[in-house]
């Protein structure tokens, strides 16, 4: 997964550092350090941190699995195609 913090938006509230201390750390006033490529074991904590950020400065991007193209499309069609 990829994590991006918009440091122009971040206000240093430290909610993220509290909820995911392995991924986010405040060093000094409003100086946020973070791991842009944390491992998946931290996913839950990081998603919680992103949701808790008061100014929504944290973006989390999930990698697209290379083999998921046709299978994912077929699966999505099967699950989502019951409109009528």
Give the contact letters, 45-84, x = binds to ligand SF4 (CB under 6 A), - = no.
Answer: --------x-x-xx--------------------------
Q: Which stretch binds ligand SF4 (CB under 6 A): 3-11, 35-43, 64-72, 73-81?
A: 3-11
* 3-class DSSP state of 36: coil
Q: Is there binding between residue 14 and ligand SF4 (CB under 6 A)?
A: yes
Residue pair 55/9 in contact (Cβ under 8 Å)? The answer is yes
Cα 21 to Cα 32: distance, rounded to the nearest angstrom: 11
By CB under 6 A, tell whether 23 contacts ligand SF4: no
Q: Is 16 in the site for ligand SF4 (CB under 6 A)?
A: yes
Q: How many angstroms separate the Cα of 43 from the Cα of each of 49, 65, 81?
A: 10, 16, 30
């Amino acid at each position: 997964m990829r994590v991006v913090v918009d440091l122009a938006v971040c206000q240093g509230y430290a909610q993220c550092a509290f909820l995911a201390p392995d991924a986010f750390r405040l060093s000094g006033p409003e100086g946020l350090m973070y791991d842009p490529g944390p491992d998946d074991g931290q996913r839950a904590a990081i998603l919680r941190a992103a949701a808790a950020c008061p100014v929504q400065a944290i973006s989390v991007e999930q990698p697209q699995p290379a083999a998921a193209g046709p299978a994912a499309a077929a699966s999505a069609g099967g699950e989502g195609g019951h409109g009528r």
